[in-house]
Structure 1
Amino acid sequence: AKRLSALAPCLSPHCIILRSTLFHIIKRDKSIPRYTNVPLKLESQYASGGQIPVLITAAEDRLGAAVSAIHSVYSNTKANVVFTIVTRNSTVRTTQNSYINPEQLKGKISQDPHSAEATKPLAFARFYLPLYIPEADRAIYLDDDVIVQGDIQELYETALNQARLQRFLMTYMGFLDFQKESIKKLGLRANTCTFNPGVFVANLSEWRNQNITGQLQHWMKLNTQEDLYSKTLGDSVITPPLLIVFYKRHSAIDPMWHIRHLAANRYSSQFVKAAKLLHWNGHYKPWGRGAAFTDLWDHWYIQDPTGKFHPIRRHADDDKE
């Protein structure tokens, strides 16, 4: 049976590398600070082009979601996928992968009680892709509330235009306050379609060349001073800086690789089963109540051996059968 592979870029005291035939723990050089921006130099994992790097986060209360997503990816591809799993310090005993440092976000996000979920540090891991995957020229980012039904190699090999990211379409309306002078100066149009940041393929070479992380941090910090983001949408803390920085720097891919709003849209079961990636974005999650097509998520659910994660709509005895 194929095992899950996970590569953490050694931003934590320990780094676990899992391969199909190899399991070992690399201790971090104590001379390197825990939250350094210079990862421990490992043998290049991606230079040969034979591996597909994917980043996903693992919140302590949603570990089962990340495991289900990873399970679905591995079960539908023969490619050598390497997962970088980013988690909080408090979760590391369970996941033993990369930490995200909350200090990286200090002074860059407002403590808005109405957007508590979106201001959790893990939500910003996608802003630091080259930091977590330093050896790769491109990488895939996945939210943990997805299931992949297609071969992820197809998504990874999608053609990327120079200096662009490959993402899915949505609209600027509801994310930015177009009355603010800093937004007006950008020349953005409120009805311009752009991407959803829950699933994307990133050109990491251009990300580094253009200092995309630095640009994102600039807009995050400026928002704390000028309140640039609209309050219309709940995830407006994460999406607005991405919309600004990647304006006209992204392109669309096959929409079957990102079927969203599974709680709100009445898709046919045939359509959903044919989709290559399902995303339960929004309030209703497939491990909770109210989401549609939860049977497709259940297919990839693996019981948490620690007993901490359990779909609340399932009876506790279901996992014992």
Structure 2
Amino acid sequence: MSDRVSVNRILLVLLVLMVCLLLRSTLPKNAGQVPQEHAAEAHDVVPVVICASEERMGASMATINSIISNTDASVFFYVVTLRDAVRLTRCIFELQKYEPHFVPNMEISGFLPVLLPKIHLDPISYIPSCLKEIKNFVLQLNFVRFYLPLLDILHSRVIYLDDDIIVQGDIRDLFNIKLKPGHAAAFATDCDLPSTHETVRSIGMQTTYMGFLDYRKQEVKDLGINPSDCSFNPGVFVADMNEWKKQKVTKELEKWMEENFRQNIYSSAMAGGVATPPMLIVFHDKYTILDPLWHVRHLGWSPDVHYPENFLQEAHLLHWNGPFKPWNYPAVHLDRWEKWFIPDPSGRFSLERPDDDS
């Protein structure tokens, strides 16, 4: 009897080892390098960059789930996390069950915060007062969008998405937007959607450069940017990687991060994430405008202000930018986000709702 138990234990151990080896083979071992089989497909897939911070992993999974559930296109995800969280992130995504019941094609890579010039020394000073509780590693990942060329992306075009997003349309339509010659990116402007204007005014959101840059500073005046020019939100954009590199966009973004460190040129009433002002400067008058329905935003700026249901149904992409995230409470339009929520198998991420025992 004991011999049989021993044999069963050995077989069980071997089975576990085989499962681990199979799981390990589903994603590349070397972070930041897309395997050759994906390189061969690089011309006919929709590549999407999304960050996955350790404590918001469930948010990234919901975004990914909404994307793959609403398209029949082949989508490849560049999932970026902090370097020391790569192993955990890979494990969580491998164990996950997505809506269509398959594991999306993805490469998980690590981001080194030391890449950030100056700001990594004192990141909290760059956070708006309403977001002071945010953790440093969430802030650091906000700057991944500056360093797209360092992700070893094998595609000439890529979509970047924040993790507080649900995609309701076919992501292929966003990817296929025609960028104007010489433009490295396409964004949705903050003045483009009449249906949201009343909501934006009621919650005090800024829609112009005045809300992001300190026009009392000479460095800002010298830019020659009209303070009433429409701003844009960089939580969703399509990037032309060749133009990005050609125009040295990353170097320009770093330049304005360093300038803010020296001169404090951001507005004290900054109306968005800390990664927004440098992008507003670098891309001013040099970006293609997205269809506004591909970036319906401000859902996270008030726990009380709602959009009409028929407007939400028409939206291709919903963005809960702001402090009131849909996995927390209070927040608005929770049903739109929960439809794509997948329980985190690691137990690190869970929904906060009023009936929770916690």
Q: CA RMSD in A?
A: 2.3
Instruction: Give the aligned residue type for 2:79.
Output: I
Name 1:168's counterpart in structure 2.
Answer: 188
Report whether the alignment pairs 1:205 with 2:242.
yes
More deviation, 98-107/264-273? 264-273
- What is the TM-score with the length of structure 2 in the denominator? 0.75
Q: State the shift of 1:233 in Å.
A: 2.1
| Residue correspondence of structure 1 range 184-263 to structure 2 within 5 A | 184-233=221-270, 235-263=272-300
Task: Tell me which of 152, 158, 174 is aligned to 2:177.
Answer: 158
Contact 1:57 1:86 in 2 (8 A): yes
Equivalent-residue separation in structure 1 for 2:255 and 2:216 (angstroms): 19
CA distance in 1, matches of 2:189, 2:146: 19
Aligned CA distance change for structure 1 residues 246 and 284 (closer, same or farther; 3 Å): same
For residue 100 of structure 1, what is the aligned residue in structure 2? 111
Conserved in 1, the CA contact under 8 Å of 2:126 and 2:274?
A: no
| Aligned partners of 2:42 and 2:155 also within 8 Å | no
Instruction: Name the CA shift for 1:187/1:234 in 2 (closer, same or farther; >3 Å).
Output: closer
- Which AA in structure 1 matches 2:225? L
Offset at residue 91 of structure 1 (A): 2.4
1:46–1:135 Cα contact (<8 Å) kept: no
How far off its partner does 1:208 sit?
0.5
Q: Offset at 1:251? A: 2.2
Distance 1:267 1:135 in 2: 38
Q: Separation in 2 of the partners of 1:178 and 1:247?
A: 16
Q: TM-score, normalised by structure 1?
A: 0.83
Change in Cα spacing, 1:194 to 1:56, as seen in structure 2 (3 Å) is same
Question: What secondary structure, in the 3-state scheme, does the structure 1 residue paired with 2:235 have?
Answer: strand
Contact 2:266–2:277, Cα closer than 8 Å, also in 1: yes
Post-superposition offset of 1:118: 8.6
Deviation at 1:316, TM superposition (A): 6.2
Q: Cα offset for 1:314?
A: 6.7
Equivalent-residue separation in structure 1 for 2:56 and 2:275 (angstroms)? 19
**1:67 is aligned to 2:61:** yes
Superposition deviation, residue 60 in structure 1 = 1.0
How many equivalent pairs are there?
Answer: 287
How far apart are the structure 1 equivalents of 2:242 and 2:294? 23
Aligned to 1:54: 48
Q: Contact 1:177 / 1:229 at 8 angstroms: preserved in 2? A: yes
In structure 2, distance between residues paired with 1:167 and 1:293:
24
Shift of 1:93: 2.7
Residues 247, 214 of structure 1: CA spacing in aligned structure 2 closer, same or farther, 3 A cutoff? same
1:276 match: 316
Confirm or deny that 1:111 pairs with 2:134: no
SS in 2 for 1:243: helix
CA distance in 2, matches of 1:216, 1:287: 31
CA distance 1:114–1:251, shift in 2 (3 Å): closer
Q: CA deviation at 1:112?
A: 3.7
| 1:84 equivalent in alignment to 2:78 | yes
8 Å contact from structure 1 (residues 256, 277) kept in 2:
yes
Structure 1 unaligned blocks of 5 or more: 1-21, 29-33
Cα distance in 2 for residues equivalent to 1:136 and 1:299: 31
Distance 2:338 2:153 in 1: 34
Listed one character per residue, the Cα deviations across residues 115-166 of structure 1 (whole Å, up to 9, x for unaligned) are: 1549621010010112214321111010100000000000000110122221
Please give the secondary structure, in 1, of the residue aligned with 2:56. helix
The equivalent of 2:345 in structure 1 is: 305
Instruction: Answer 1 or 2: higher relative contact order, Cα 8 Å, separation at least 6.
Output: 2
3-state secondary structure, aligned to 2:189: strand
Q: Distance in 2 between matches of 1:280 and 1:42?
A: 33
Is residue 166–residue 202 contact of structure 1 (8 Å, CA) maintained in 2?
A: yes
Bigger strand fraction: 1
- Partner in structure 2 of residue 134 of structure 1: 153
Letter in 2 for 1:166: A
Per residue, is there more helix in 1 or in 2?
A: 2
**Take 1:130 and 1:261, find their aligned partners in 2: how far apart are those partners?**
29
AA aligned opposite 1:111: P
Unaligned runs of 5+ in 2: 1-23, 91-107, 191-207
